[in-house]
Structure 1
Amino acid sequence: MEAKDEKNIVNEPYTAYGSYSYADYLSWDLEEMVELIKGKIFKQAAAPRRIHQEVSFKVARIIADFLEGKKCKTFIAPFDVRLPVQSKKNEDIYTVVQPDICVICDLEKLDEMGCVGAPDLIIEILSPGNNQKELINKYEVYEESGVKEYWIIHPTEQTVMMYFLIDGKFQPSRLFTVGHKIKSSVIDGFELELEKVFEGLEY
């Protein structure tokens, strides 16, 4: 593949130069975080909002505390999750995402670069600039790659939607909000009180 200027690549994520692999991704020296979804480049519109970061930190801390001493591990962005379709070779992987939070119980999927293969649980916290990416593009690759459970947290609306992988397809939960307690199907015994997640947030 012909070499391209990295800055131009990031500024024109959907159309410009065809399909990119994880091997290409590793060769770039970029100042901003990007993701690959089916070979197309997606960049972060801006740094996450403060509320996004507060919610992300709270949820990750609660999960990590619960998992202390257990086999599953919690990771937060930036953390490369590679989702191979067939081969795990860098040049054959065309989806590399950075979920806000992920939980991985099969520790053989971990290497020095991050995770290769689907995490058990992925949590995305919506920001004004990334809603379409989370709701459409990532939903599809998470379902196709076999992520067992996927949460979408909307901080400003104070809601959570959960998706559970059943027979290869995501099945949605009801919409949860403050006052509800949600239970994970992949973290045995884990419950999250949404009041603790959203309390004290100032917009």
Structure 2
Amino acid sequence: MPTIVTDINELDLSGTYTYADYLLWEFEERLELIKGKIFKMSPAPGTLHQRLSTKLVGNLFKYFENNPCELFSAPFDVRLYDTKKSAVADRDLYTVVQPDICVVCDGSKVDERGCLGAPDLVIEILSPGNSQKEIYNKFLLYQECGVREYWLVEPNQKAVLLYALDETGRYVGVQPAVKVLQSIIFPELKIDLEKIFN
């Protein structure tokens, strides 16, 4: 019978884990699994991070209110998998992330545990605790798993970096948005960034 883990120190942080393992972890530390490797998340986000998240969610809620796409904010598990495999079981899932904000348009991907498969839009807000390695890994991960659009919010620069998948499945970036952000996959979605960062 599987054993519940209540102390993160019981884990080998250099080991490889699956979503089935993740379901047995009952400790306070927040973490994500990226290709089976544990990435500790920062403690509760700071005030600036929360203000930006709230303002973005407010704008997105208005846009998606009468839309079949659903809006979610962290903590919300997104289980990503190798789309080349036909069967997906908890033991076959090696990646579980908690994006700050995500939008899922395919309702069949949403269940009681979160989202299984790539959301259409993922938004990550950078915090002082985000390492360059984590940013790099998530960029490649979201691209590889088919997240159609990825926003990277840079609070210090008061800018948003926007990437959208092209026809080859690779991210193409547009000029950093500092005044108005316009989505590529939702062209009518425009956000006044001066109000967001004010």
With the length of structure 1 as denominator, give the TM-score of the two structures.
0.89
2:98 counterpart of 1:101: no
1:174 aligned partner: 175
When the two chains are superposed, the root-mean-square deviation of aligned CA atoms in Å is 1.8
1:44: how far off? Answer: 1.4
1:86-143 CA-to-partner distances (Å, cap 9, x unmatched) read 2321100000000000001111100010000000000000000014254211111100
Cα distance in 2 for partners of 1:8, 1:39 equals 17
Cα distance in 1 for partners of 2:145, 2:127 equals 24
The letter for the 2-side match of 1:127 is S
Cα distance in 1 for partners of 2:137, 2:161 equals 16
The letter for the 1-side match of 2:62 is D
Change (3 A) 1:189 1:61: same
Cα distance in 2 for partners of 1:156, 1:83 equals 29
- Between the aligned residues of both structures, percent identity stands at 46
Residues 61, 71 of structure 2: 8 Å contact kept: yes
Cα distance in 1 for partners of 2:76, 2:161 equals 23
Cα distance in 2 for partners of 1:133, 1:119 equals 22
Q: How does 1:35-114 map to 2 (within 5 A)?
A: 35-85=32-82, 86=85, 87-114=87-114
SS at match of 1:141: helix
1:192 aligned partner: 191
Structure 1's unaligned 5+ residue stretches are none
Match 1:22 to one of 16, 19, 31:
19
1:9: how far off? Answer: 5.2
SS at match of 1:139: helix
2:132 counterpart of 1:132: yes
Residues 30, 42 of structure 2: 8 Å contact kept: no
1:21: how far off? Answer: 0.3
Give aligned pairs, total. Answer: 192
Residues 88, 116 of structure 1: 8 Å contact kept: no
Residues 182, 193 of structure 1: 8 Å contact kept: yes
